[in-house]
A and B are shown apart, each in its own frame.
Chain A
């Protein structure tokens, strides 16, 4: 445990000072700030940020994460040659990567709200969900980047995998679901689609956010089923748990690979 914290301390120093994390923070800050300046009210800004959070945050997390783990490879070997256990070193590396990215997201999106937003009743729920979804997606996709970078020794394969996973979750998955729905339109598909939605972290984030805005009504009959399931506090808890599982499973797998790996 102490080893993890010691590794974490210096990893934090290193990642926080990296230019990419700084650019990421500034970009999110400027974007949110501009949305406010163009006359947006708090809740509308949250809605405008929805797609940024759902697409951009996973992309940055998985690509930056994978690149970072590869660039730290030689130093990781040096650390492994020290009297430290692999498990605690791995935990330190993951937290040292995920926490700065989570912090960058919180600061970049949160600060403009602190500066501009008028406190109103309809703001806290959506904003809270936006931040929660962004944080969970950061943890899910950095965990995936750790898995890719420990699984493949070849940097090109790891990066390719990272981009493929992002493309799959962000774009291809929804297309496949649509295809499925058209192909089997004669059958009741609500339950299968519900289950499929639970498997994709980006979809889960979207559901979580859209239900904050009562826009689910626009999604027709399926939307109603969604509303019925996800709109309850139990459904919302299910989504959060599913996201937590999606962050934990790749991380545990990566930890297993890391522990047995030949460097």
Chain B
């Protein structure tokens, strides 16, 4: 496990702003992810969820604000990404490579061959998918490869964007169990999903973004309490209505 200091939050955003032309994607976001917990990232379409994730990954450069990982500011370097595992929303892998080659490439790039977590990799390879070109794999099998890559290097922080999309119920259950297990082992998870049931099942904390601003950040139960609703979906709708009035 790439360990993070237990005292500091796993990741922290301070006054993060990002503008795309006229569109304000992030408008002063101040939040943190508690170490060893699963945090749900929710919000309507275009609320800035992707931008927030991409800032943390270094794919998008924020205009203002700072980000800290394990208490240390993320500079312009890339070394900090050793501690991060990322599962993008709609992955596409090089068409003519096999799963085995894609994995080998990432192993080479990371140069962290020694202590990898191959559990999901074995799961992906079960039906001989490892040696077939990625382009012939089904969407669900590709998603398994996507998951296997994210968990492979035992990251201290996992960023999962719609992790169960395209997976059948059995596969989705296996992945959710895995997410819980790495959390129990001390990893921090940031989970973005449109499936409220899934979030209620997995997440302990919740960040609710609307139009680039944080509408709610805290324990998942707290949101329901505040709105007096029992379901997460209804609680969020109530919060949206209240904000609009």
Contacts and interface: CB of A to CB of B under 8 A. Distances in A.
Interface string A97-141: 000000000000000000000000000000000000000000000
A83 B78 contact: yes
A263 B105 contact: no
Contact of B82 (A15, A18, A83): A83
Interface stretch (B29-37, B86-94, B183-191, B205-213): B86-94
A186 interface: no
B96 A14 contact: yes
B106 A82 contact: yes
Contact of B58 (A14, A15, A78, A80): A80
Interface string A125-161: 0000000000000000000000000000000000000
B88 A77 contact: yes
Contacts of A81: 57-59, 81, 84, 86, 88
A262 B59 contact: yes
Nearest to B94: A14
A74 B92 contact: yes
On chain A, which size bracket covers the interface? Answer: 20 to 34
B114 interface: no
Interface string B3-43: 00000000000000000100000000000000000000000
Contacts of B93: 75
Given A10-B101, A81-B59, A83-B110, A18 B96 contact: yes
A78 B97 contact: no
Contacts of B224: none
Interface residues of B, number: 32
A260 interface: yes
B140 to A, nearest CB: 17
Nearest to B106: A82
A212 to B, nearest CB: 38
Contacts of B81: 81-83
Contacts of B109: 3, 6-7, 79, 82-84
Given A10-B94, A74-B92, A81-B84, A260 B61 contact: yes
B97 A263 contact: no
B92 A10 contact: no
B129 to A, nearest CB: 17
Interface of B: 20, 54, 57-61, 78-82, 84, 86, 88, 90-97, 101-102, 104-106, 108-110, 149
6 contacts: A15-B96, A74-B88, A77-B88, A80-B58, A83-B80, A86-B78
